[in-house]
Amino acid sequence: MPIFSSRAMCIAALLTLIPAMPAFSAQISAQTSGQISAQIAIIIDDVGNNHHRDAAALTLPVNVAISILPHKHFSQKYALLAHEQRREYLLHMPMESMAGLKQEANVLLASMNDKTIVQTLHAAFASVPNALGMNNHMGSRLTQLETPMRTTMDYLHRHGLIFVDSRTSAQTQAEAIAKQQNVPALRRHVFLDNVLAEDKIALQFNLLVRKARKYGRSIAIGHPHKQTIAYLQKRLPTLAQENVQLVPLSAMLAPQLNNANPNILASSVNNLR
């Protein structure tokens, strides 16, 4: 399974490189001097469908992660482009919603047995090679269900992959089950662009910053809409003046990877040998 051994190498390389990353070094020195108290991470979802639209996401600072839909015309291309930029990227895994998402091919459904879930995940990851992990596309129904989430998190754990809960339902169990099964897991705190107007995106971004100031860290999900990209292009360069730092997803995971998941470290080391 070459995709997984090279992806695991990618995590090992990330762990090795994190202390050398300029952003992370700046974070450590700033924390030491007490300057930076708020960190944000941003994921741009739904990449892979529309090259004309999605290309702009790759013009954002490389600390902004992208999440790529599987089996799309440009899925592999965007994985490769992001990899070349050393930008972190996830598989954006379609999951059944309350409204039903059966029209989307390769979606994880509540009616699937464990074997079919594993096969569907495996094929999806193969179409987005070297992804750091995954977050859910839709999934308001599936993420509430314990059995398919346990199967999914068991798969991620065995392959050394991370999970970000998009939280498309307030009743999601996905993040809790991921953590129970020792999958490094994060959650989305703010959706940036449910309303596509600059003033509304600005309000959501301000909410992201407020949460980061209050809790130390906060994660946003946006989409490659031209309004979202334009706003981020304008706003992100001003963060330093506000003592807010944009960090890669892996920086938010570093405590979990270093302290709570020796299996990932072990498998990464083994794959490097």
Q: At its nearest, how many Å lie between Zn ion and the CB of residue 137?
A: 4
**How many chain residues bind Zn ion (CB under 5 A)?**
3
In the complex, minimum distance from the CB of residue 215 to Zn ion, in angstroms, rounded to a whole number: 24
Reduced to 3 DSSP states, what percent helix, strand and coil does the chain have, rounded to the nearest 5?
55, 15, 30
Query: Smallest Cα–Cα separation from 161: which of 176, 140, 178, 146?
Result: 178
Find the part of the chain contacting Zn ion (CB under 5 A) among 4-12, 38-46, 114-122, 170-178: 38-46
Pick 45 or 246: Cβ nearer Zn ion: 45
Burial status of residue 73 (CB atoms within 10 A of its CB: 0-12, 13-18, 19 or more): exposed
Residue with tokens 């897991």: 185
Helix (H) or strand (E) holding 102: none
Of 140, 125, 51, 59, residue with least CA distance to 92: 125
Of residues 254-273, those binding Zn ion (CB under 5 A): none
* Binding residue for Zn ion, selected from 11, 21, 46, 251, defined by CB under 5 A: 46
> Which of these segments, 8-16, 17-25, 130-138, 140-148, binds Zn ion (CB under 5 A)?
130-138
CB of 4 to Zn ion, least distance (A): 24
Which of these segments, 9-17, 80-88, 134-142, 229-237, binds Zn ion (CB under 5 A)?
134-142
Burial of residue 102, with CB atoms counted within 10 A of its CB: 0-12 exposed, 13-18 middle, 19 or more buried: exposed
- CB of 41 within 8 A of CB of 248? yes
Nearest to 1 by CA among 142, 204, 161: 161
CB of 211 to Zn ion, least distance (A): 21
In the bound state with Zn ion, the residue whose beta carbon lies nearer, of 8 and 95, is 95
The two tokens of residue 253 are: 């995971």
Q: Which is nearer to Zn ion, 36 or 47 (CB)?
A: 47
* Site map 177..216 versus Zn ion, x via CB under 5 A: ----------------------------------------
Find the shortest distance in angstroms from Cβ 90 to Zn ion: 11
Q: Which is nearer to Zn ion, 191 or 205 (CB)?
A: 191
Q: Give CA torsion, residues 174, 178, 181, 182, to 10 deg.
A: -170
Residue span binding Zn ion (CB under 5 A) among the ranges 25-33, 41-49, 81-89, 172-180: 41-49
- Interface residue with Zn ion, options 7, 72, 87, 137 (CB under 5 A): 137
- Restricted to residues 1-30, the positions that interact with Zn ion (CB under 5 A) are none
Nearest residue to Zn ion on Cβ basis: 137
CB 239 within 8 A of CB 245: yes
Asked if 45 interacts with Zn ion (CB under 5 A), we say yes
Question: Rounded to whole angstroms, how far apart are CA atoms 187 and 170?
Answer: 12
Greatest pairwise CA separation for the chain in angstroms:
53
User: Using CB under 5 A as the criterion, which residues of the chain lie in contact with Zn ion when the complex forms?
Assistant: 45-46, 137
